[in-house]
Amino acid sequence: MPYKEQPVEKVYYTIGEVADMLQVNTSLIRYWEKNFKIINPRKNSKGNRMFTQTDVDNLKLIYHLVKEQRLTIEGANKRLTEDRQALADNYALIESLNGIKKMLLEIRDEL
């Protein structure tokens, strides 16, 4: 049986990497960290924030609420505390549909 390398998944992401993923400034990430209790990055000995995949997923959910649905910070906090799991499932469905749409558009362009 041939040897296959497992894809390496990062355990921690820096604030710059997270900001690049979301295409926002690092200051906005720090602001959301202060205003949303679900964002709790670890800090190393230098004080640099180290975000887990759960933190990144929560930040994507916050981005969806604040930037795409145009909710206020208070409104987004309220939605997250009411039913976060249903909100996360809904967001995952939206992301999946956007991926399918992108794939279909690429196929259309090739034809």
For residues 52-71, give the mean pLDDT: 93
| DSSP structure class, residue 49 | E
| DSSP structure class, residue 51 | E
When comparing pLDDT for 15 and 87, which is higher? Answer: 15
Taken in order 77, 70, 17, 29, the sign of the CA dihedral is negative
CA–CA separation, 108 and 23 (whole Å):
27
| DSSP structure class, residue 61 | H
Q: Hey, what are 30's tokens?
A: 């720090």
* CATH class assigned to 13-110: mainly alpha
Using one digit for the tens of pLDDT, what is the confidence trace for 48-60?
A: 999 999 999 999 9
Predicted model pTM:
0.80
Q: How many residues does the chain have?
A: 111
Domain ranges of the chain: 13-110
CA–CA separation, 56 and 17 (whole Å):
10
